[in-house]
Structures are given as structure tokens and as C-alpha cells.
Structure 1
């Protein structure tokens, strides 16, 4: 074999190898892709059911507008060829797989953690909305993780009245009281069950978001203390970042008038039980999704404003909010609402 042929063969080997690697379905890269996800009108229906369903009252005031919950679409288990294609797509962002699945956690563990986070977010949304409307709040156990610290002690439907003798008036009070203890410490809960009160001791586990904080391993629900029931049909879709929009939808449903003013509103942001709006991830993707859906205004958590300004919002105003009161004021008078960057 002469020198020219040997050179051609040597040069072809890496090209053929690269082609085989790109074509191989087994060549999975340790990255995920994030991009604009679907939007859901939480004043309407999700998969054939009301996104927020209210029973036990005649109140459920209809709205002529929309309140869109925005999401981020995540793709993982990507072959190298698809990852390269998504990397070239300006609407997609390639991130390390650890951003989506934290190290040391299985897919099942992440799903269980997310289920608890969804329930906590819904509880905070209910509590914030009820407080804004001046209604009493009860804190109940919505779910007990089978392998959680409270398994076999707490039951679904238990209403938590106090932690270590200190009264609980909302989800945040329960979360703060439990989180003030370290994992392994014991707390005493006073709960109402089947019309009777009882004292129950739980040895806390480790909080999935903060290893220094104690955790019950339960999902909690805030509910009105007047026989009214609120059910959310967005678990597994919304998560914590839908908290603000769910809260606004509940305020709209339980109060007279149309909170949206007939407009198409979108937004994002976590919320706690007293109405503080928190930072979220994927803001640029959510803005893109809202813009494509035709939203007239987008509510941005104050802490996300700097990043939000890097997104292509088109003609859609980016309204800065730090709490529920600010969001309600923005919807009442959009022209006077503070903007990101202003």
C-alpha cells in the first residue's frame, strides 16, 4: 500500500468512527435540553378537567380572560446526534444532566420529591389566596410518603393544629416550625383526626432541598375553614413555579369580578403562604412560550428580571412582581405596573 492510500485510510478512520458514533442510539450524552414548554390556562381546563376546581360553595366566578401557567420542556437521554441538533436550535439550551436530576438521586426519588413539592406549592397558593381574601385557613396532610419519616404516624386528612405546642395557621408556619429542627430530632404534632385531637411524635428526616433542615415526608394542603374544597388538577405539570399563577386564579374564582379584565395574562413564580413571590428557573423559555401563545402581559418574579430582559418578549410587557399584592395591583392597572429594567 503506497503512502497516499495509507494517508487516505488513516484520515477516513476517524470520520467513519465519528459517523458511527453519531448514528449509534447507544451514544447517550450526559446533558439535557431545555426549551419553551406548553402553556395552560389555569382558569380553564387541563386534560378535560378544571385546572382549579372549587366545591362546597356557589362561588366560582367565571372569567373572560386567561391566566397562563408557563412551563419548560426538558429532554434527556439524548443521543449525541440529537444533542448536537438541539444545541444548534436557538430555542433550546443544553445543560448538564445534573441540573435536571441532582447527583445521588434516582429518577423515582426525584419524582417523589417533586410530588411533595407540587403539594406544598398548591398549599401555599391556597393559603396566600385565602389570606388575601381574609378567609381562615386549615393545614391538612394531603399525602404521606410510604418511606417518609411520618409514615405510619400521620394519615391523609389529618389537620395539623400545632408543632411542639405552637399553633399552626398556615403551610408556612408548619414548614418553618419543622425546618427549624435538624434531621433526626423529634417533633410533637397536635392533629385533628376523625373529630378528635391527638398528640403524635415524628422523628424527622432530611429535607430534600436542604440537608440541614428536618422534613416530615408529607405533602400538605391548605384548605378553607368554611367547608369549601379546592382541588388542583395540575400536579405533575405545574410544580412550584406555577404558585403565583395558581394563586391569582383562585383569587379570581373566589372573588366577584374578572381579575384579568378580559386580558390574556401569563407569568411564573413560586409563592409562599404569605404571598411572597420567589425566583424560578427557565424564565427565558417561559417568556418565549407565552409570547408564542399570544399573551398580552407577563408577570416576572423580581429576582428573575435581569435574566428576563435577555429574552425576546416581542411587544409583551414584562411586569416585575415581588408579592401577591403587587401582582394584584398590576392586573388592576397594567399601565402603571412596574416593568423589568425600569
Structure 2
């Protein structure tokens, strides 16, 4: 880790007023042995608890989302991206969307077995499964738990299509699975590159891989024949918006075939955490950033409405969209949506698989 690199993304550990949770203090038992060294608290350690869900495929009917099912092998994310719209999900478990979200993680080791059972159910209709829609499937703990890989092995065995969205070069460790699946029209990937400036990246996404590693991941994926997109999500006005064109240029050079972008979203508890982060890291422009975000979000910190939540509105959003479109055209990143094959799917082997 680089010198002066922030240990975590959130600057505090607010509880959720929506669920009347008790306030959390940084010196309470909820922290795992946070000791004091030379008068300063030691860095928070990451803990991982086992979660045992009854099912692993999450389904949605959102009209502005391009998939209807997803898998999240982990709850919480050590990358610590301050803008992460998944942070509020920790509040459902009596945990803070702040520091808890990035330090108190949950792994689902039963995910591969649950996936196998769900794919074997009579009447299962095959559609691409999306990984990385909530928390990153290749966050650091995947290196130990390897749950994402185990799920991909089940999908490879059954010729089931999938997509992966990540900001980690760890995805390349599974190219032995992803590459052959892509060759059969069963896999695609999207790599998130939010900023090319290491200083901005290490505050915005403190434990995510360096931007250059992500570009190398795009190159490796493309070189292995995997259809790969670049995602500039989110674009933060007055912090990262000046990089749109450069990110697209570098991604195109690395082999990306298309691109998407999304203006920053600040749902529920994310807004106060983001404001505190701005005051800590960008006090000179905090007011300007929030004013621009509110103009994009119809005068609010966040716009939850379908379709506009993904695009924003008003002159700032229009300008951002125009810049993105022009740059995407310039660098050949206007590729059509990648369509994966579903006709190759075969239920997993076993008693149920053989019956149906």
C-alpha cells in the first residue's frame, strides 16, 4: 500500500435512522480489537463472517436494468468505494453503511451448491447471471474464499451464460474458465475505471486495484477473447468528470469494445457519508460538487426514479452525456450490447439433473 494511502473509504460509521439502529462508536465492541498505538487507533482489521442464505440467485424486475438475475458471493465490500450504492444494505443487518460495510464482511461459501440446486430445478429458464451488481465478486477476500470461482465452475459445467462487473484485476486469475466460456458466447466482462489519477483513486476507492492494473485487466480479458466493456461509474462532477475522454481513450487502447457511464448516485445513507468524505478530501470544492449533483438529480441528493436515476437530468447531465457520446464515437466504443447464448444450457449432473 502506498504511503499516506487512506486505510478506509468512509470517514465515519453512521448508523441508519431508517431502522432506528443504535449509534455506533469507534471504541465499542463492534470493532475487532482496534487497539491504540502511539496515541492513535490502529487501522481497522477486516473480519469475515459466514452467511448461509437459502437461495443464491437474486431476481429483479427493474425496467432500467439489463439483467433479471444476479449472484453476490459476498455482502459488504473491502474496496471501500465511498460512493457505493450498496452501502445501505448493511443497515438491514444492524450494521453501519459506513465503516462496517467495508470492514465487517460476509461470505457465502454455500453459494456454489445453492447455485447447482437452483439450476437443477424443474422449469428453470436460462438467462445470463450477472456477478458484481451489488458488491465486487473479486474484492480481496475472493483470493482466500474463491466463492466466485466456484460459482463460475458450476456455470462452466452447465454451459450457463454469465457477465462479470468488477474493478479488480483479480478477474484475470479465472481466465482459464472465462476465456473458453466467452469463445462459446457464454461470458462477457465489464471493468470499472473511475479515475486514472492514483491520488484520486486511492481516496475514492481506497482498497481497489490501481487504475493501471484495471487497464491491464481489460487488455488481458480482450486478449483472451472475452468481450469486455469499460464502465465509468460513477462520474463525480468536479472530481473525476474531466477524465471521461482520457479513460475512454486508454480503455479503447487496451481492447475494450464498448463503454457505459453513470453519474454518481447517493441513495439513503450514502449521501451523508459522501458529504463527510468530500469535506475530508476535497474541502475546496465540496459545495460545488454537491450543488452539481443536486442539479443532476432534480434538486435532491439522489433521484430514485427508474431511468432518470441512471442518466441524470438538466444541463450538467446533458453536457456529461454529450461528452461521453462524442468520446465513445471517437475511440470506437459505441459497440452494441453484448448478447450471450442461452440455448447451450444443460442442467447440472446429479439425481435432479438426470431426471429433468
Q: TM-score, normalised by structure 1?
A: 0.28
Structure 1 or 2: more helix by fraction: 2
Higher strand fraction (1 or 2): 1
Rg comparison, structure with higher value? 1
Asked which structure has the greater RCO (Cα within 8 Å, sep 6+), the reply is 1
